[in-house]
Chains A and B, each alone.
Chain A
Amino acid sequence: MNLLFALVALPLLFMLASLVAGRHGPRLIWLSAPLMTGLAVWLAIAVHTAPEGGALGGWPVPLGIMLEADGLAAALMLASAITAAITGLFALGSYGTTRAETTRSYTFWPLFYGLWAAVNAVLVSRDLFNLYVAIELLSICAVALAAFGSRKAAMDYLMIALAGSLAYLLGVVLIFAAVGTLDLSLIAERAPEARTSILIGAALISAGLIAKTALFPLHGWLPPAHGAAPPAVSALLSALVVKASFVILLRVWFEALPGLTEQAIITGFGVLGAAAILYGSALALRQEGLKALIAYSTVAQLGYLFLVFPLAGGGEAITLWAAGAWGAMGFHASAHMLAKAGLFLAAGLMIHASGNGRMDGLTGLARAMPVTTFAFALCAVSLMGLPPSGGFMAKYLMLIASLASGQWPYALVIIAGGLMAAAYLFRPLARMFAGTETPAITPLAHGWLPLAPLALAIAAMALGLLSAAPYELMVSGLPEAGEAGLEEVEP
């Protein structure tokens, strides 16, 4: 319990500290990175044996606030801690103390810690209003960080985020009016009494969260915002921010409303996810800018997460792990966090070094920046879903789940998505290996910066090679609906 509280409160403390510390603020990352990662590891080990949770201040629900970490929350908490810690260290290159103090080097750090706290809060909250507060804090920090790149893209992002928040809030009000509680487990108990109004509320909540997650067709704001931002910011936005709103969506449907879900809703999520995979990949194939390509890849990769709705336990459990869709989703979310952040960091270094963000600017960089290129390649392998990577385990489990449950169209989409990912990611990679000259590059701020994407890439690989423990963690304490499928659970 105190551990969960610490994981949410400590980043907030670091946020305040970084405001107070002024030009020494950036140095705090040397403390916060190992501390937060260590706590997340501790949580993962603790949750592995029993779910962690309890009421804040000892006040029970409905008076107090419940914090709770199941296996998925602990796993994502750890993956996001690794991602945020490494991205934070990487950001020292742009917003560190070695450079003259700027507005940005001052504002980056509080926003960074605010975002981290919000992500952790989303993961452990079990109450629609808490989730609202957390997702609002997240949106505000994310929009402000996105403004580091393009003001216009950030404004669009802000509009979408606000509209999403309004829809979410409206949905929460409807549900509260219907059942008189915001706690997820209490909603699950009382939901059958007011089925219609709850479904309308849930639809509003879903619409808001889909906009924030940038699921096709509400993805339009994401590529400009993620593509234009500085590398460290793009990494945080693509890796963490969009996952948080997706996790809330999971909580709402799998924990608060299992059994209320119609086949149409499940299929709807699945079809949108599949469309996102194909459409995002097709657009990624056509990009000439490196970061725009990676941003469109995010649109495609987010689609896979939504396949958990139709796939989770959708069929008779023929094999031991036919109900592995839940684990697949956890693997995909974690692997995408690590690999996409690594990809953005590596791309940022390459664009800085070559002074050109377009595809042809990459020519020959494999010779000038071997470590960065290698990190880029490893992250790309995970996104393509090729072994040995976390991305592969995710795709393998998803494929098994879709075929074991007889939903083979999803399997075709997953395989097509993997091939398209290979096609769009090998384009920049081939540029890096092409040519015979070694291009002259602008030196990096620190020689060790390429190690940041490399560390993320290795983490994404390790997730695939040593997958047994993460898998057990992700499926431990999973909601009943995650195992049995949304439709089969009677409330």
Chain B
Amino acid sequence: MNTAILIPVLLVLAPLIPAVVSAFLSGHAGWRNGVNIGFAALKLALVTYALAGVAAGAEYEWRIAFVPGLDLVLRLDALALLFVTLSAVLWVATTLYAIAYLKGTPHQARFFAFFNLCVVAASGIAMSGSLITFFVFYEILTLATWPLVVHTGSAKAMAAGRTYLAYTLAGSAALLAGIVWLESGSGPVEFADGADLSGFSTLSASVIFALLIGGLGAKTALIPLHPWLPAAMAAPAPVSALLHAVAVVKAGAFGVVRVIYDVYGIETVAALGLGIPLAALASATIIYGSLQALCQSDIKKRLAYSTVSQVSYIVLGASLAGPFAVIGGLVHLVHQGLMKITLFFGAGVLAERAGITGIAQMDGIGRRMPITMAAFSVAALGMIGVPPVAGFVSKWYLALGGYQSGASWVVGVLIASSLLNAAYFLPMLYRAWLKPSADTLPSRETLASTRTWLLILPGAFTAMAALGAGLFAGFELSPLGWATLIVERIYLP
């Protein structure tokens, strides 16, 4: 038997085992941390092996039947691997960061159990080979995230949890309705084959598409389904980092890509005339999110609205459906993850070590916490689209894609968004580096004595990665190289 088909299963099990172990090691922080880091490293090794295999043209698939004809399929193709790699790399960074961030706080066992369960779900979503598999993992993600959002138990966290559930569960209901409607007519849908839409009228097919995208849009935070995301800021910083960079919003965006390319197919989406409305919605979200971000005075809130805006780049790229646009959207899945996680790591460090949560308090913090703020600045510049940070590559390809698809207004959207990004990120950098330090900041000595490298280095690492992804974008195994590979396989079968 070919053991390689077990790779998808192992990739799901790698985070599942520490999830279960963490739940039972409530009093043994050392052991728990060891297990978590060990399995995160193991997963990285597996991903590396799979990368080599898939680059050479292999596809790994594993399946088990739910009912006859309806299978749970885990399938590792190039697109799946893009998301799996992102989640594996950021899982390591976030685990290290969370260990340092939560040190000495209660209920860490519960935290790490659900945290790892989120990674299980994200891996499962990435490797789903059929709609039903996707939905199963998508819902596991919905449920596993809730205990993390309400982790602190404060009234604010509970309210955030309620808002989160209201939006995501309503989204799930719409998604399920769409899936069932589709499958009741076409039979079980597998991504490798796409759906057979011959039994549906144009109107039904469009309504189903709207249900699917609407359901996924709740997690992607497309307007008007975005309010849960800024509210979820009540969660601890590692959770925000995970939510924004890897798990929840990305799961939605990834689902949108799957629906457009592997369920409906680009030609069908174009024939039904569904791509441009979706691109318009994504553009509206991009501008609206940026405008809202500009109005926030709280760091995490501003970052949250920035996510609302940035994740829609992925949807925009997918819905424009030209090769360059798709490359831009897919590569942004990775780039936005790297940059946004850096920003949230930084925001968490600021809050934890210097008590800074508002933008007005950031005066002069750059000189007191140079590594954290340098990383933060790299990521912020990347979000604006300053070369050579990764964000520039995404925007370049999206703009090219806009031209290529005959939707040159996209370039206008991108320019407007970049200006807005600059308008809300640059003042933060200006305050941090150029303003004199406020008296309320902790002194250098205090900061030096409380320095925890585990809290600082993950952010520095992800910032380097974001920089590297931009600098070395021309290499085959860079995110851009990989996205190009995926798109070549879509367009040149």
A residues adjacent to B (C-beta < 8 A): 318-322, 324, 327, 364, 366-367, 370, 374, 381, 386-388, 392-393, 396-397, 399-400, 403-404, 411, 415, 418-419, 422, 426, 430, 433-436, 438, 467-468, 471-472
A400-B183, A468-B67 in contact; A367/B107 too (CB < 8 A)?
A: yes
Report whether A403 and B181 are in contact in the complex, using a CB–CB cutoff of 8 Å: yes
A367-B107, A396-B132 in contact; A433/B66 too (CB < 8 A)?
A: no
Q: Within 8 Å CB of A426, what residues of B?
A: 162, 165
Report whether A319 and B187 are in contact in the complex, using a CB–CB cutoff of 8 Å: yes
Report whether B67 and A324 are in contact in the complex, using a CB–CB cutoff of 8 Å: yes
Report whether A435 and B153 are in contact in the complex, using a CB–CB cutoff of 8 Å: yes
Per the 8 Å Cβ criterion, residues 165-206 of B in contact with A are 165, 169-170, 172-173, 176-177, 180-181, 183-185, 187-188, 199
Give the complex CA separation of A324 and B170 in angstroms. 26
Q: Is B266 an interface residue (CB 8 A)?
A: no
Give the complex CA separation of A319 and B173 in angstroms. 22
Report whether A415 and B177 are in contact in the complex, using a CB–CB cutoff of 8 Å: yes
Q: Is B152 an interface residue (CB 8 A)?
A: yes
Per the 8 Å Cβ criterion, residues 58-75 of B in contact with A are 64-70
Q: Which residue of A lies closest to B109 (CB)?
A: A370
Report whether B176 and A415 are in contact in the complex, using a CB–CB cutoff of 8 Å: yes
Q: Within 8 Å CB of B485, what residues of A?
A: none
Report whether A399 and B165 are in contact in the complex, using a CB–CB cutoff of 8 Å: no
Per the 8 Å Cβ criterion, residues 133-162 of B in contact with A are 135-136, 139-140, 142-143, 147, 150, 152-155, 158, 161-162
Q: Is B367 an interface residue (CB 8 A)?
A: no
Q: Is B110 an interface residue (CB 8 A)?
A: yes
Give the complex CA separation of A418 and B169 in angstroms. 10
**Residues of B in contact, count (CB < 8 Å):** 43
Q: Within 8 Å CB of B181, what residues of A?
A: 403
User: Smallest distance from the beta carbon of A276 to chain B beta carbons, Å?
Assistant: 20
Report whether B68 and A386 are in contact in the complex, using a CB–CB cutoff of 8 Å: no
A387-B139, A393-B67, A411-B177 in contact; A430/B150 too (CB < 8 A)?
A: yes
Give the complex CA separation of A339 and B70 in angstroms. 24
Report whether A434 and B140 are in contact in the complex, using a CB–CB cutoff of 8 Å: no
Q: Can you list 7 contacts pairing A with B, beta carbon distance less than 8 Å?
A: A319-B188, A320-B187, A370-B26, A392-B139, A419-B169, A419-B173, A434-B153
B residues adjacent to A (C-beta < 8 A): 23, 26, 64-70, 106-107, 110, 132, 135-136, 139-140, 142-143, 147, 150, 152-155, 158, 161-162, 165, 169-170, 172-173, 176-177, 180-181, 183-185, 187-188, 199
Q: Which residue of B lies closest to A367 (CB)?
A: B107
Q: Within 8 Å CB of B152, what residues of A?
A: 436
Give the complex CA separation of A120 and B66 in angstroms. 28
Report whether B183 and A386 are in contact in the complex, using a CB–CB cutoff of 8 Å: no
Give the complex CA separation of A393 and B162 in angstroms. 26
Report whether A418 and B173 are in contact in the complex, using a CB–CB cutoff of 8 Å: yes
**Selected contact of A433 from candidates B67, B139, B150, B187, CB within 8 Å:** B150
Q: Within 8 Å CB of A320, what residues of B?
A: 68-69, 187
Give the complex CA separation of A396 and B175 in angstroms. 12
Overall SS of chain B's interface: helix
**Selected contact of B135 from candidates A387, A422, A430, CB within 8 Å:** A387
Report whether B139 and A419 are in contact in the complex, using a CB–CB cutoff of 8 Å: no
Report whether B68 and A471 are in contact in the complex, using a CB–CB cutoff of 8 Å: yes
Q: Within 8 Å CB of A374, what residues of B?
A: 23
Report whether A318 and B185 are in contact in the complex, using a CB–CB cutoff of 8 Å: yes
Q: Within 8 Å CB of B169, what residues of A?
A: 419, 422
Tell me which of B23, B69, B70 has the highest count of chain A C-beta atoms within 10 A of its own C-beta.
B70
Q: Within 8 Å CB of B64, what residues of A?
A: 468
Give the complex CA separation of A400 and B152 in angstroms. 40
Report whether B180 and A396 are in contact in the complex, using a CB–CB cutoff of 8 Å: yes
Q: Which residue of A lies closest to B199 (CB)?
A: A318
User: Smallest distance from the beta carbon of A279 to chain B beta carbons, Å?
Assistant: 19
Q: Which residue of B lies closest to A315 (CB)?
A: B184
Give the complex CA separation of A275 and B204 in angstroms. 28
Q: Within 8 Å CB of A471, what residues of B?
A: 66-68
Report whether B180 and A400 are in contact in the complex, using a CB–CB cutoff of 8 Å: yes
Q: Which residue of A lies closest to B162 (CB)?
A: A430
Tell me which of B64, B143, B184 has the highest count of chain A C-beta atoms within 10 A of its own C-beta.
B184
Give the complex CA separation of A435 and B153 in angstroms. 5
A393-B67, A430-B162 in contact; A381/B185 too (CB < 8 A)?
A: no
Q: Within 8 Å CB of A419, what residues of B?
A: 169-170, 173
User: Smallest distance from the beta carbon of A257 to chain B beta carbons, Å?
Assistant: 28
Q: Which residue of B lies closest to A474 (CB)?
A: B67
User: Smallest distance from the beta carbon of B36 to chain A beta carbons, Å?
Assistant: 18
Report whether B68 and A321 are in contact in the complex, using a CB–CB cutoff of 8 Å: yes
Give the complex CA separation of A364 and B150 in angstroms. 12
Report whether B67 and A327 are in contact in the complex, using a CB–CB cutoff of 8 Å: yes
Q: Within 8 Å CB of A403, what residues of B?
A: 180-181, 184-185
Give the complex CA separation of A367 and B64 in angstroms. 36
Q: Which residue of A lies closest to B132 (CB)?
A: A396
Q: Which residue of A lies closest to B65 (CB)?
A: A468
Give the complex CA separation of A150 and B173 in angstroms. 39
A381-B143, A418-B173, A436-B152 in contact; A322/B184 too (CB < 8 A)?
A: yes
Give the complex CA separation of A370 and B25 in angstroms. 13
Give the complex CA separation of A459 and B154 in angstroms. 33
User: Smallest distance from the beta carbon of A314 to chain B beta carbons, Å?
Assistant: 12
Q: Which residue of B lies closest to A393 (CB)?
A: B66
Report whether B140 and A387 are in contact in the complex, using a CB–CB cutoff of 8 Å: yes
Report whether A422 and B165 are in contact in the complex, using a CB–CB cutoff of 8 Å: yes
Q: Within 8 Å CB of B161, what residues of A?
A: 430, 433
Give the complex CA separation of A468 and B132 in angstroms. 14
**Selected contact of B70 from candidates A321, A381, A433, CB within 8 Å:** A321
Q: Which residue of B lies closest to A387 (CB)?
A: B136
Q: Within 8 Å CB of A434, what residues of B?
A: 150, 153, 155, 158
Q: Within 8 Å CB of A438, what residues of B?
A: 106
Give the complex CA separation of A341 and B14 in angstroms. 32
Q: Within 8 Å CB of A392, what residues of B?
A: 136, 139
Report whether B140 and A388 are in contact in the complex, using a CB–CB cutoff of 8 Å: yes
Q: Within 8 Å CB of B158, what residues of A?
A: 430, 433-434
Ranked nearest first, the 3 interchain pairs of A and B with the lowest CB-CB distance are A403-B184, A320-B69, A387-B136
Report whether B180 and A386 are in contact in the complex, using a CB–CB cutoff of 8 Å: no
Report whether B68 and A472 are in contact in the complex, using a CB–CB cutoff of 8 Å: yes
Tell me which of A404, A468, A472 has the highest count of chain B C-beta atoms within 10 A of its own C-beta.
A468
User: Smallest distance from the beta carbon of B135 to chain A beta carbons, Å?
Assistant: 6
Report whether B153 and A436 are in contact in the complex, using a CB–CB cutoff of 8 Å: yes
Q: Within 8 Å CB of A381, what residues of B?
A: 143
Q: Within 8 Å CB of B107, what residues of A?
A: 367
Q: Within 8 Å CB of B142, what residues of A?
A: 386
Q: Within 8 Å CB of B67, what residues of A?
A: 321, 324, 327, 393, 397, 467-468, 471
Give the complex CA separation of A318 and B169 in angstroms. 29
Give the complex CA separation of A309 and B73 in angstroms. 32
Q: Which residue of A lies closest to B181 (CB)?
A: A403
Known: A366-B110, A386-B143. 17 other contacts (CB 8 A): A318-B199, A327-B67, A370-B26, A381-B143, A387-B135, A393-B67, A399-B176, A403-B180, A415-B173, A415-B177, A419-B173, A422-B169, A430-B158, A434-B150, A436-B154, A468-B66, A468-B68
Give the complex CA separation of A404 and B142 in angstroms. 28
User: Smallest distance from the beta carbon of A477 to chain B beta carbons, Å?
Assistant: 16
Give the complex CA separation of A21 and B264 in angstroms. 67
Tell me which of A318, A387, A396, A399 has the highest count of chain B C-beta atoms within 10 A of its own C-beta.
A387
Tell me which of B23, B135, B176 has the highest count of chain A C-beta atoms within 10 A of its own C-beta.
B176
Q: Within 8 Å CB of A327, what residues of B?
A: 67
Give the complex CA separation of A370 and B185 in angstroms. 43
**Selected contact of A404 from candidates B132, B177, B184, CB within 8 Å:** B184
Q: Which residue of B lies closest to A395 (CB)?
A: B176
Give the complex CA separation of A472 and B66 in angstroms. 10
Give the complex CA separation of A393 and B66 in angstroms. 8
Report whether B153 and A433 are in contact in the complex, using a CB–CB cutoff of 8 Å: yes
Give the complex CA separation of A472 and B142 in angstroms. 30
